């Protein structure tokens, strides 16, 4: 210590240094808390959405199983009953797995308002007794993973009906 230094100046300097260190400490605590929260959110998102690529890769399997069931004519259903039952069971189990992992199927009904956040318009046609912007046909279902869109539902949309 400098014996000639003014004690009041030294106390003022020490207080300023203390205040600066306290401020740096509080900021470091806040940064650490923000980093913890960010890491926790990233971990939750990874758990919730980590399987997005696999889920997208499974969507065509769902579509193909539905197409297989739809392709069998009514007159051949009896002769292929065991095969159809196997396909239906497989499709049902795939649906159960989807549900277990937060995947939901979007099947908008005819007359539902077109939502570009959830639907993809494949065509537009004037249909009597409909309003412009209403869904008139579902071509392919869409899928959500929790609150995120995996694939939009492909739909036909009504244009203003011809007069």
CATH class of 103-163: mainly beta
CA dist list (Å): 6 to 10, 12, 90, 97: 6, 10, 87, 77
Domain ranges of the chain: 1-49, 52-101, 103-163
| pLDDT score recorded for residue 162 | 55
User: How many other CB atoms are there within 10 angstroms of residue 120's CB atom?
Assistant: 15
| pLDDT score recorded for residue 45 | 87
Question: What's the gap between Cα 80 and its chain centre?
Answer: 37
| pLDDT score recorded for residue 155 | 97
DSSP 98-144: HHHTTEEEE-PPTTPBP-TTTEEEEEEEE-TT--TTBEEEEEE-EEE
User: What are 38-78's pLDDT values in tens digits?
Assistant: 999 999 988 888 888 999 999 999 999 999 999 999 999 89
Q: What six digits make up the tokens of 86?
A: 């196997």
pTM: 0.73
Element (H, E) at 51: none
Mean pLDDT in consecutive groups of 10 residues from the start of the chain, 163 residues: 73 93 95 95 88 92 94 90 94 95 95 96 91 94 95 94 58
């Amino acid at each position: 210590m400098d014996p000639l230094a003014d004690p009041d100046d030294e106390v003022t300097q020490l207080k300023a240094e203390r205040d600066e260190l306290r401020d740096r400490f509080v900021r470091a605590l806040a940064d650490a808390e923000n980093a913890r929260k960010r890491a926790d959110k990233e971990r939750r998102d990874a758990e919730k959405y980590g399987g997005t690529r696999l889920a997208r890769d499974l969507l065509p399997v769902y579509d193909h199983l539905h197409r297989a069931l739809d392709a069998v004519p009514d007159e051949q259903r009896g002769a292929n009953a065991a095969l159809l039952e196997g396909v239906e069971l497989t499709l049902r189990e795939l649906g159960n797995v989807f549900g277990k992992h937060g995947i939901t199927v979007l099947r908008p009904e005819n007359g539902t308002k077109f939502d570009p956040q959830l639907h993809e318009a494949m065509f537009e046609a004037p249909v009597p007794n409909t309003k412009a912007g209403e869904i008139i046909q579902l071509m392919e279902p869409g899928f959500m993973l929790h609150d995120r869109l995996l694939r939009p539902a492909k739909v036909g949309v009504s244009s203003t009906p011809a007069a």
